Amino acid sequence: MVEPEQVTITLADAISAFRDLNEFVVSLDRIGSRIGGGNNSPDILYGYIVSHDVGPRLARLRRMLGDALESAIGEDEVDRIGESSYFYTDD
């Protein structure tokens, strides 16, 4: 199968995705620095994730990119890519 070189998302989705990803990167860096520096407990990470709806927002970003990829490479390939990802376990 020949894969396309590009996928397309709307400008509004791209702006929203960039805004969310920028927030996550900057916030997680700052939180990590505060925890690592001993200034705060790891509880601030949990507080940020919950109070800023990080899980649902990341799920929306995944859906947005997954939909764009599906239209370009198909659902089975997107599923394969997703299954090859790292998943946290308690082991």
- Closest residue by Cα to residue 2 from 79, 59, 77, 63: 77
Q: Which amino acid is at 60?
A: R
What are 21-33's pLDDT values in tens digits? 999 999 999 999 9
State residue 41's pLDDT score.
96
What are 58-88's pLDDT values in tens digits? 999 999 999 999 999 999 999 999 999 999 9
Q: Which two tokens stand for residue 70?
A: 């599906």
> Rounded distance, CA 28 to CA 48, Å?
9
- Closest residue by Cα to residue 54 from 24, 82, 31, 22: 24
